Amino acid sequence: MFSKLKEKLKSWTKKVTEKTEEIPTEIVETPKKQSKKKNTAPKKKEIPEKPIKEETKLIQEEELKPDKPGFFKKAFSNIHKVTISEKEFEIYEEELQMLLLENNVAFEVAEKIVQGLKIKIIGKEINKKEIEIDIKNTLKEIIKDILIEPFEIKEKIKEKKSKGEPYVILFCGINGTGKTTTIAKIANSLKKQNISCVLAAGDTFRAASIEQITHHGDKLGIKVISQDYGTDPASVGFDAIKYAKKNAIDCVLIDTAGRMHTSKNLLNEIEKISRVTKPDLKLFIGESITGNDVIEQLKSFDSSIGIDGIVLTKADIDDKGGTALSVGYATKKPILYLGTGQEYHEIEQFDKDKFIERLGL
């Protein structure tokens, strides 16, 4: 995901280290002048080709390397260790921050990463053979600290079940983020973990929304509670919870209509749904490819109902990765799931180490 970032960092580390050493140049002796007395033609021997051949060979070998120079490459030939100065770091600091921003990393997060890297590597004596690994590992540590630690929904459901109460999850987000499909995916995942579910068709506004969630329920063998279009969505959620209590269902998943985060009236409506259903968990569904817009969306919903966790859809087509890195830090909410396709099984619990590996670090 951060391929361009990696290439630049390799180039940067190479330039920094090149300043620490002088590359010896090979001295080529010029041939002695021919005696004027001799009219014999000079031998066909021009300037020695050895240095040129070696240089050409080096260039050809560099071009044939499978991995082009990327973000962190350090090439030392005559020294074993190097110390990066603050002045050297500042030369590339702004460029590094810009590359993070280009990868959808929020400004405050990009700033934190750059400053964290600055603190950890300036003045540190690094072995020339390990510098790329050392800087990459430093970045991994910084990013891991930035990401909010997710929690297991399964454990929370079991805890509520021990009290004889169904665990209620309310889903919200703007239009078109794949909210209903995500609910079906999570319901399928919970069912496979022997957790019984009921779905509430709380989107009573969008055309065919009730049919859509009912279709998912039929395919998964999960009960769907619904009413007519135009019905108060809060009452649909309330009925689903009532059904779950009566039938000893472990978890209630409440769908809601997509709404723009800038609409106060629609946010007031979802606030009412939350007040009536009293969910144990409020999940925001957003697209990872939206970039930093998703942060503003989440902040609006969080202000209205208090979001507990995040699900990012379309993570499989996100070639940058900065949204997932930023959204949790900027809002202090954990990412719990990543949607990775259209099929029911194509959803995964968020894992810090796995995410960092996807970044290519």
SS (H, E, C) the chain: CCHHHHHHHHHHHHHHHHCCCCCCCCCCCCCCCCCCCCCCCCCCCCCCCHHHHHHHHHHHHHHHCCCCCCECCCCCCCCCEEEECHHHHHHHHHHHHHHHHHCCCCHHHHHHHHHHHHHHHECCEEECCCHHHHHHHHHHHHHHHHCCCCCCHHHHHHHHHCCCCCEEEEEECCCCCCHHHHHHHHHHHHHHCCCCEEEECCCCCCCCHHHHHHHHHHHHCCEEECCCCCCCHHHHHHHHHHHHHHCCCCEEEECCCCCCCCCHHHHHHHHHHHHHHCCCEEEEEEEHHHCCHHHHHHHHHHHHHCCCEEEEECHHHCCCCHHHHHHHHHHCCCEEEEECCCCCCCEEECCHHHHHHHCCC
Is it the case that residue 192 has pLDDT exceeding 70?
Answer: yes
Q: What's the pLDDT at 49?
A: 52
The token pair that represents 17 in the structure block: 């280290």
Q: Which pLDDT band, with edges at 50, 70 and 90, does 52 fall under?
A: low
Pick the more confident residue, 71 or 162: 162
Percent of the chain with pLDDT over 70: 76
108 bridge partner residues = none
Q: What's the pLDDT at 23?
A: 41
pLDDT tens digits for 253-311?
999 987 776 667 778 889 999 999 999 999 999 998 887 788 888 988 999 999 999 99
Residue 153: CB partners within 8 Å, gap ≥ 6? 169, 186, 190, 281, 336
- Average pLDDT value over all residues in the chain: 81
Q: What's the pLDDT at 71?
A: 37
Is it the case that residue 79 has pLDDT exceeding 60?
Answer: no
Q: Which pLDDT band, with edges at 50, 70 and 90, does 72 fall under?
A: very low
Is it the case that residue 74 has pLDDT exceeding 80?
Answer: no
Q: What's the pLDDT at 68?
A: 43
Q: Which pLDDT band, with edges at 50, 70 and 90, does 55 fall under?
A: low
Mean of pLDDT values over 19-34: 47
| CA neighbor of 169 nearest in space, from 269, 260, 237, 248 | 237
Q: What's the pLDDT at 78?
A: 42
pLDDT tens digits for 157-180?
999 999 999 999 999 999 888 999
Is it the case that residue 45 has pLDDT exceeding 60?
Answer: no
What count of residues does the chain have?
A: 361
Task: Name the least confident of 118-132, 181-195, 218-232.
Answer: 118-132
Is it the case that residue 29 has pLDDT exceeding 60?
Answer: no
Task: Name the least confident of 29-43, 65-79, 291-305, 333-347.
Answer: 65-79
